[in-house]
Amino acid sequence: MSVQSVGSPLAGGAPQWSERIKRERRSPERGLLMPPILDIVRSVVSRAAFWDRHPLKNRGFGLIYDVARDITWLQDANYAKTIGHTKDGQMTWYQAMAWVKSLVYWGVPGWRLPSALNSDGTGPCIGTNCDDSELGFLFLVEGKTDVTGIHFTNFDGSAIYWNSTEASETEAFGWALTGTRQGTLLKDPFTPQEFGPPPLLGPVLAWPVHDGDVSATILKRFVSVSAVRLGLIRARTPEVPPKPPADQL
């Protein structure tokens, strides 16, 4: 696995995390009007490759599926900036939570921020060896073992990524790539505080994740739409209830 990054702390400790620029043109906002053939082929092939035992799968459509955790990451690690939601992708925890909740990608809703809890629901862990949270597992476990050529784009090695897990009324958990550390920060880290945590050392970003294999839902939609357009099946028309008699209006 490799990332498009700037000064990634993982590049030195794990050679497979090489700095590489790989931009893929895709427009999820175009919906189902223009089937992306390359993405469909990639998604199908990744399922057919039964010999591939690596945990991360490129499902096409800008999606990376984590087999071990059964979750799907956006391949774009700063999608909020890519689509112009914010100028640089930075958001407070409140803004990040609201954005992922409203996000619809290739027609699929239900996105969320990663969890800081361990896979068994314990924690959250604080420190540099938090390898069982969702982001920790991605970087500290799979990032060191998966060398299948998986690429994340718009990756910033100095970033802090929000978790959905709250620490208190004013703080939430985040995952800092500098030092690969999980800890807490103010939910609004951009407001100057007289007393509080030290200044941030990198941008604070949101990386959407979704439960399950999202690409399966997208593929089914494309197959259904294509079948309708080719006349293989008839499109369903909504049933209109009969109009009641005039004396019942």
Question: Does the pLDDT value for residue 102 go beyond 80?
Answer: yes
Token pair listed for 92: 């407070």
Least confident of 69-78, 98-107, 115-124, 193-202: 193-202
**Among the listed residues 226, 224, 217, 2, the one whose alpha carbon sits nearest the alpha carbon of residue 109:** 217
pLDDT per position as a tens digit, 126-185:
999 899 999 999 988 887 665 566 788 898 888 999 999 999 999 999 999 888 899 999
How buried is 231 (Cβ within 10 angstroms: 0-12 exposed, 13-18 middle, 19+ buried)?
A: exposed
Q: What is the mean pLDDT of residues 104-130?
A: 93
* Better-scored residue on pLDDT, 103 or 6: 103
pLDDT band at 76 (very low <50, low <70, confident <90, very high): very high
Q: What is the mean pLDDT of the chain?
A: 75
Assess if residue 211 is contained within a domain.
yes
Token pair listed for 171: 């703080």
Assess if residue 28 is contained within a domain.
no
Amino acid, single-letter form, for residue 155? F
Assess if residue 225 is contained within a domain.
yes
Q: Which residues pair with 127 in a beta bridge?
A: 182
Q: At what angle do helices 37-48 and 214-229 cross, to 10 degrees?
A: 120
Long-range contacts of 38-42 (CB under 8 A, 24+ apart): 40/219, 40/222
Question: Does the pLDDT value for residue 93 go beyond 50?
Answer: yes
Q: Residue 189 is part of which domain span?
A: 2-23+35-234
pLDDT band at 19 (very low <50, low <70, confident <90, very high): very low
Question: Does the pLDDT value for residue 49 go beyond 90?
Answer: no
Distance CA 104, CA 101 (A): 9
Token pair listed for 228: 């309708």
Assess if residue 209 is contained within a domain.
yes
Assess if residue 248 is contained within a domain.
no
pLDDT per position as a tens digit, 193-223:
655 554 556 899 999 999 999 988 887 776 6
Q: How many domains does the chain have?
A: 1
Share of the chain above pLDDT 70, in %: 61
Question: Does the pLDDT value for residue 119 go beyond 60?
Answer: yes
Share of the chain above pLDDT 90, in %: 43
Amino acid, single-letter form, for residue 17? W
Range with the largest mean pLDDT of 4-18, 28-42, 157-171: 157-171
Assess if residue 30 is contained within a domain.
no
Assess if residue 245 is contained within a domain.
no
Quote the pLDDT of residue 23. 33
Side-chain half-sphere exposure of 20, counting CA atoms within 13 A: 13
Assess if residue 246 is contained within a domain.
no
